[in-house]
A and B are shown apart, each in its own frame.
Chain A
Amino acid sequence: MYGQSVTPGVYVLCGVTSGHLDQLRYHCFVKLLRLVFPLLAALLIARILPPLVCGRDANRWLRGDPVLQQSLAQELIAFELRDDVARNKSSKNRFASEWALVTHQMTALGLAQLCLAHPEWKERYVPILSRAAQKSFLPEMRDFGRRAWHGEDALESLAGTHGHAYLSYSALAVGMARLLDPNFPKSIADRHDALIAAYERRLLASTTGLIETYPGEAYPTDVAAVAAAIAVHGRVTGENHHRVLAHWAEQVKRVQIDAASGLVIQRMGARSGKPHDAPRGSGTGLAAYFAGFADRRTAQLLAEGLFKHESTFLGFGAIREYASGHHGFGDVDSGPVIFGVSVSATGFALAPARAFGKEDSFERIYRTTHLFGMPFSWAGRTRFTSGGPIGNALLFAFLTSGPEVAP
């Protein structure tokens, strides 16, 4: 039937026999095969090999492989020890400011999470995490905040109404250190108690559940860190912070989450609750991690919103920075935004993906992290070479997230 339909009478008239046509068909088939088969092989390899190579450690991170966890921990411990030496040597060129604060904070949180998951490691890690948390609380770490508030120091103005929410990052690290370190210095613990009391009072007084980070500007992510610091303080001291945490969780749902996208608005007016920026992935990812310390359901809600914005390609996953209808370039919060996805949102998403068992998303996102993070292992230490100490500290906290989440 097929042969008849493709054998026009003109071939017969030209003396072309069916044998010739079969030969022609065979040659065409071989030619097509020679063209298509190599292309198919190339496409197959491109689809299978890169996800396999970049995702080979994903499952080990997900299951909490002690070798992997300790190799990244060792890298950050080495960094902290070098930082201690530099700090003792010279008063100049100290590692300070916002980036340093976050590096020490995330190192402390990551080590604390390891100690919660493996209590037998406490002896080794608690002194280091406690020291890192204390460094994040040093006055020079909050110089950027003092400058933004025109010279007003967060710890010298506890009776005031200004939010100073940025210091909650240190407060959270100090809280985790107090939870695990029985020898935590009392003088710092007293200042921590006073800061938490101020945050609690300010948050309860806010009808939007927001307090300022900088004058006139509130970041829901920073306020999630405030809630986390308050919640961990409750675990340490036994104080009941239920009322303020319930108020915060209620306002996150009512004011801070964009209903259409499920993402939190990146920047808002603290008093008015008016958006000053778009709903964004980077803020939501970090807020989901911090919210986990304070309220599991709020963290899960934020994670649901975040993973709705996952883009996938060839088995790699990344989080889109902006909700639909919003556009923008990268900034200090998101890092570069490439094809709509951001470096920060993608990295931050590892924490809720691991903590809430979103295994497929974790694996896809880890592949992307591995591809761009360029991990390098040497002498029992692993570092993500492209991110530097801050990138390592952030990934350490996110890749070990889970044990810190409130029940």
Chain B
Amino acid sequence: MSSMLRCCAPLLRTPAIVLVCYLLLHMLFGSLTENGGLITPDGSVSLGVMILGVFLLGLRMAVVFVLPAHTAYRIAKMLLNHP
């Protein structure tokens, strides 16, 4: 069991790093959007916030859809190959 966990650990390292990066960026974006979101209250576009927001949205899609599925794929593959 412990050897299996040891095998799983490297597989979880990258997803954990991506997740932490996402959470930090989300906090940063959250603090930047107190007065406006992807578009400011008067309807104009704040370019810097917009770029960060679009990047964060892409990362969010990856974190919600791709990362868990990819991790599950790799863990299942590793379990089947485990001696």
Residues in A lying within 8 Å of B, measured CB to CB: 33-34, 37-46, 49-50, 53-54, 82, 95-100, 103, 371-372, 374, 376, 378, 383-391
Contacts and interface: CB of A to CB of B under 8 A. Distances in A.
B39 interface: yes
A372 B53 CA distance: 10
Interface string B46-75: 000000010011001100110011111111
A42 B68 CA distance: 8
Interface string B18-60: 0000000011011101111111111100000000010011001
Given A41-B73, A384-B37, 8 more contacts: A38-B73, A38-B74, A39-B73, A45-B71, A45-B72, A372-B57, A386-B37, A386-B53
B80 A54 contact: no
Contact of B41 (A44, A45, A53, A103): A103
Contacts of A42: 69-70, 72-73, 76
A391 B41 contact: no
Contacts of A103: 41
A41 B30 contact: no
B57 A374 contact: yes
B68 A374 contact: no
B77 interface: yes
B81 interface: yes
Contacts of B26: 374, 376, 385
A374 B73 contact: no
A100 B35 contact: no
The 8 closest A-B pairs by CB, nearest first: A388-B37, A376-B30, A42-B73, A38-B76, A41-B76, A45-B72, A46-B69, A42-B69
Contact of B53 (A99, A100, A385): A385
Contacts of B74: 38
12 contacts: A49-B64, A95-B41, A95-B42, A96-B42, A99-B43, A100-B41, A376-B30, A386-B37, A388-B33, A388-B37, A388-B38, A389-B35
Contacts of A50: 64-65, 68
Interface of B: 26-27, 29-31, 33-43, 53, 56-57, 60-61, 64-65, 68-77, 80-81
A43 B66 CA distance: 10
Nearest to A47: B69
Nearest to B75: A41
Contact of A383 (B30, B40, B42, B81): B30
Contact of B39 (A100, A378, A388): A388
Contacts of A33: 80
A367 to B, nearest CB: 10
Given A50-B64, A53-B64, A99-B42, A388 B76 contact: no
B26 to A, nearest CB: 6
B52 to A, nearest CB: 10
B77 A385 contact: no
A41 B38 contact: no
B42 A389 contact: no
A385 B68 contact: no
B77 A386 contact: no
A324 B69 CA distance: 34
Nearest to A371: B64
A388 B53 CA distance: 11
A97 B71 CA distance: 48
Nearest to B53: A386
A383 B64 contact: no
B33 A385 contact: yes
Contacts of B72: 38, 41-42, 44-45
A372 B37 CA distance: 12
B68 A389 contact: no
B57 A389 contact: no
